[in-house]
Structure 1
Amino acid sequence: METRPAQPPEQPSEQPAPPAPVVREPVLSAASKALVSQAQLQLQSKNYPVAASSIERALRIEPANPLLWIELGKVRQAEGNYVQAENMGRKAAALSVNAPRANSAAWSLIAESLRARGKNQEAQEAMVKAQGVR
């Protein structure tokens, strides 16, 4: 009977890299698209409460769509409510971690809102995030 020398255990090869996150840019449903278009016209007419109401209706349809939170943030910004605009941007940023374009737009909204309130250092940091996620 022949004995073989013990083979050293196989060394595990390098671990494969974790899969890249799936990029899923959000899109608006037809109903939300119509409401956003309506809101943009209302915003141009400086009819901020009605524009906000249109976006809020769209948010009832698609509450997790970061594009709608960005649109609502733009309305809040136009009416001078920069704290709420920043909050809308942060909500959009949280909802768009795997959507670089939407995330960049959210951070741009945050930066603009901070800058409007004189928080220039924080605004610069937000703008770096906006440019870094593209």
Structure 2
Amino acid sequence: MRYLPMSLALGALRRGRGIEQLLGGFEEEGRRGVKHALIFPAPRGLCYVMCTAVEDTAELDRHGGLLYPSDDAFYPEDANREGTRPVGSAPTPEGAIELAERELDADPRLWVNLGMLGYEYRDFVERGRPLGRWKPS
């Protein structure tokens, strides 16, 4: 079972573990990219929601399909060159998931534990790197 039922996604956040989700592929100015969302808890119960966009290149494939910020950032002009932008924060895990749904069109059924996104990316590649919202088969 790769995807977390809502109770397990919330439980992970409450235990101080992040969750993430592949959002989908996009094309901009002739370049292909892929976005993913990350929710990570901080001390005192606050949860941060982030969105990362990386260039979808063969370089990602060589690194086992890991979609973590690197020099493959789609927007390298970002101050940290990671392509990550903060979406916002919420005082509860429920609020953070709702924020990701509202702002990033995240699907509440497709959250995975932190570190499992590489498997999602491999499925994405096998399906031909489709543009648009990620919908696993």
TM-score under structure 2 length normalisation:
0.25
Larger helix fraction of residues: 1
Greater C-alpha radius of gyration: 1
TM-score under structure 1 length normalisation:
0.25
Report 1 or 2 for greater relative contact order, CA contacts < 8 Å, sequence distance ≥ 6.
2
